[in-house]
Amino acid sequence: MAGAFDDYNSRGMTVNSSGSGTRPCRGFSPGDALSGSFRPEGSKSLAQRILVAASLAEGDTLIAELPSAADVTAARALLEACGVAVSDGKGGVTVGGRPPAAVGWNPTGPLSPGESATMGRFAAAVLALGVPKDRHVQLVPEGTLRRRQSVSLFRALAGAGVGCEFEGVEGGYAVRLRSAEPPADVFLEDPASSQEVSALLAALAAREGRYHLHVRGDIPSMPYAEMSARVLESFGARVQLWNNSEGVLISIEGPLTAPAEAIAVEPDASTAGTALAAACVTGGELEIPGLGEGSLQGDVRIVELLKAFGCEAGCEEGRLWAKGKPTQGAEIDLSREPDLAPAMVAVAACAALDAESESRLRGLHTLPGKESNRIRVLARGVRAIGLSAEAGADFLEIGPPRHGADPAEEPPIVLDPEGDHRMAFAFALLGLIYPGIHVADADCVAKSWPTFWTDLEGLGASLTTLGGSA
């Protein structure tokens, strides 16, 4: 394969170019089966959506099981900087709503969504269309969010009359916004993420009356947009969707009202998927209580993906479970659950090592625009342990070593996740099947799963450190 993807297919591993320094390098050793029961913290994706809806609703919302992920902490801080009252209590976190019909969000200075693209998109849409007209605000991204974009969302906002002045790359999150009264019809062309759809839904649902969101083109990772609609419906909004020749037409009718009962954030299904994959690649057995067929999260499909590789898995009686090593390679479509790709790469690598089988992961077109270029970074990690990896714009093929190839380096192999929490998860799982792997900048997992290393250690993984402090 030549041309644009030469870099994807070049041999070599991803190494922390600056050395480990004071940043800890951590890893797991192969040989220990991960088993038991594990209940992840609440879903950060759900938590951010619930926080935003609560902040725009009439009344006070009590949220139980709010997770400690850095993205959620950043979302809470942004809301408080907009004048939203957020307080901790025995039953959870109470959010005092500021609907646009009353005072709305009212920031007094620049706002930071942290490194969260979810919160960056929601904040941009709400500050543009979900507050009184002609308010000015500046968004200031941090970390990996500085290099990410949401071109389609900002074009939709500009088309709705919003002023958008970018301080860096066009469509980036370093932007100054001037709010506008939303028109009855808002148009979103070729969204790069379902979060662009979700953000506009939240901003429009906060207002009284009916609006229409016209989405031209496919919606990536559709289950996340469906999750957003169900959250808004729990706050009294009416959301209806129709497919048409151009894409999707969504009708949104608000305003939002705080639910009478507390809302509990479900355990994180993406975290659950990583833990279940870890158990399978080590030949262990794990159950995840609190997630079942009625989950709002599409990533509960992890059990079907694991079964495609010959593992045993199920979703029943309010729990997910999986056991047994992969016995075969598989071709799987991850277009609806792209966050599961890193864990499934580890499963495919295990099938390549143990069963000498090839696998193809497709539907990965959103991965290059994440915190890192995930297709490229995953391919390099797989090659670092001597496996073959062929990558393109939307797929990754993983197979046994070609012609008896050896790993790119002798252990220890230090893999750089490029600041991306999900790349750190993938590389850590590779360490469960191949010796000597350590993950540079290991603490980047705090974005979504701060206790990742100790949680897997508690399930039986042997934790090792290399340089820095543990």
Contacts of 25 (CB under 8 A, 6+ apart): 16, 414, 438, 439, 440, 442, 465, 466, 467, 468
Confidence of residue 132 (pLDDT cuts 50, 70, 90): confident
Give pLDDT, residue 4: 32
- The radius of gyration computed from the CA coordinates of the chain, to the nearest angstrom, equals 22
Are residue 440 and residue 393 in the same domain, yes or no? yes
Confidence of residue 293 (pLDDT cuts 50, 70, 90): confident
Flag whether pLDDT at 11 surpasses 60: no
Q: Position of tokens 């469509």?
A: 171
Please compute the mean of the pLDDT values over residues 451-456 and round it to a whole number.
Answer: 97
Confidence of residue 279 (pLDDT cuts 50, 70, 90): very high
- Please check whether residue 214 lies inside any domain of the structure: yes
Full strand arrangement of the beta sheet holding 359-362: 331-333, 359-362, 395-399, 388-391
Flag whether pLDDT at 469 surpasses 80: no
Are residue 245 and residue 280 in the same domain, yes or no? no
Please compute the mean of the pLDDT values over residues 90-108 and round it to a whole number.
Answer: 93
Is 372 or 210 the better-scoring residue by pLDDT?
210
Is 90 or 287 the better-scoring residue by pLDDT?
287
Are residue 24 and residue 95 in the same domain, yes or no? no
Please compute the mean of the pLDDT values over residues 447-457 and round it to a whole number.
Answer: 96
- Please check whether residue 197 lies inside any domain of the structure: yes
Please compute the mean of the pLDDT values over residues 382-405 and round it to a whole number.
Answer: 89
Confidence of residue 412 (pLDDT cuts 50, 70, 90): confident
By the 8 A CB rule, do 183 and 204 touch? no
Are residue 167 and residue 190 in the same domain, yes or no? yes
Q: Position of tokens 């998860």?
A: 425
- Please check whether residue 282 lies inside any domain of the structure: yes
Are residue 353 and residue 383 in the same domain, yes or no? yes
Flag whether pLDDT at 455 surpasses 90: yes
- Please check whether residue 262 lies inside any domain of the structure: no
Please compute the mean of the pLDDT values over residues 461-468 and round it to a whole number.
Answer: 84
Confidence of residue 466 (pLDDT cuts 50, 70, 90): confident
Are residue 196 and residue 58 in the same domain, yes or no? yes
pLDDT tens-digit profile of 241-277? 999 888 999 999 999 999 999 999 999 999 999 999 9
Flag whether pLDDT at 185 surpasses 70: yes
Express as a percent the part of the chain with pLDDT over 90.
Answer: 84
Flag whether pLDDT at 182 surpasses 70: yes
- Please check whether residue 456 lies inside any domain of the structure: yes
Flag whether pLDDT at 20 surpasses 50: no
Express as a percent the part of the chain with pLDDT over 70.
Answer: 92
Are residue 16 and residue 53 in the same domain, yes or no? no
Flag whether pLDDT at 407 surpasses 90: no
Confidence of residue 357 (pLDDT cuts 50, 70, 90): very high
- Rounded Cα distance, 179 and 176, in Å: 10
Burial letters for 279-316: b for 16+ Cβ neighbours within 10 Å, e otherwise?
Answer: bbbbbbbbbbbbbeeebbbbbbbbbebbebbbbebebe
Peptide bond into 183 cis (omega under 30): no
Give pLDDT, residue 406: 61
- Rounded Cα distance, 386 and 401, in Å: 6
- Please check whether residue 33 lies inside any domain of the structure: yes
3-state SS string for the chain: CCHHHHHHHCCCCCCCCCCCCCCCEEEEECCCCCEEECCCCECHHHHHHHHHHHHHCECEEEEECCCCCHHHHHHHHHHHHCCCEEEEECCEEEEECCCCCCCCCCCCCCECCCCCHHHHHHHHHHHHHCCCCCCEEEECCCHHHHHCECHHHHHHHHHCCCEEEECCCCCECCEEEECCCCCCEEEEECCCCHHHHHHHHHHHHCCEEEEEEEEECCCCCHHHHHHHHHHHHHCCCEEEEEECCCEEEEEEEECCECCCCCEECCECHHHHHHHHHHHHHCCCEEEEECCCCCCCCHHHHHHHHHHHCCCEEEEECCEEEEECCCCCCCEEECCCCHHHHHHHHHHHHHHHHHCCCCEEEECCCCHHHCCCCHHHHHHHHHHHCCCEEEECCCEEEEECCCCCCCCCCCCCEEECCCCCHHHHHHHHHHHCCCCCEEECCHHHHHHCCCCHHHHHHHCCCEEEEECCCC
Are residue 197 and residue 338 in the same domain, yes or no? no
Chain-centroid distance, C-alpha 248: 23
By the 8 A CB rule, do 210 and 61 touch? no
Please compute the mean of the pLDDT values over residues 102-115 and round it to a whole number.
Answer: 92
* Listed residues 257, 287, 302: the one ending a domain: 257
Is 16 or 390 the better-scoring residue by pLDDT?
390
- Please check whether residue 182 lies inside any domain of the structure: yes
Are residue 127 and residue 152 in the same domain, yes or no? yes
User: Domain span at residue 301?
Assistant: 3-41+267-466
Give pLDDT, residue 102: 84
The CATH number of the domain where 415 resides is what?
3.65.10.10
Flag whether pLDDT at 15 surpasses 70: no
Are residue 436 and residue 309 in the same domain, yes or no? yes
Are residue 170 and residue 133 in the same domain, yes or no? yes
* Listed residues 204, 223, 257: the one ending a domain: 257
Least trusted range by pLDDT, from 36-50, 350-364, 378-392, 402-416: 402-416
Q: Position of tokens 């970074």?
A: 377
How many domains does the chain contain in total? 2
- Please check whether residue 281 lies inside any domain of the structure: yes
* Listed residues 229, 257, 285: the one ending a domain: 257
Are residue 354 and residue 422 in the same domain, yes or no? yes
Give pLDDT, residue 409: 59
Locate 188 and state its tokens: 């979103």
pLDDT tens-digit profile of 66-78? 999 999 999 999 9
Flag whether pLDDT at 16 surpasses 80: no
Confidence of residue 402 (pLDDT cuts 50, 70, 90): confident
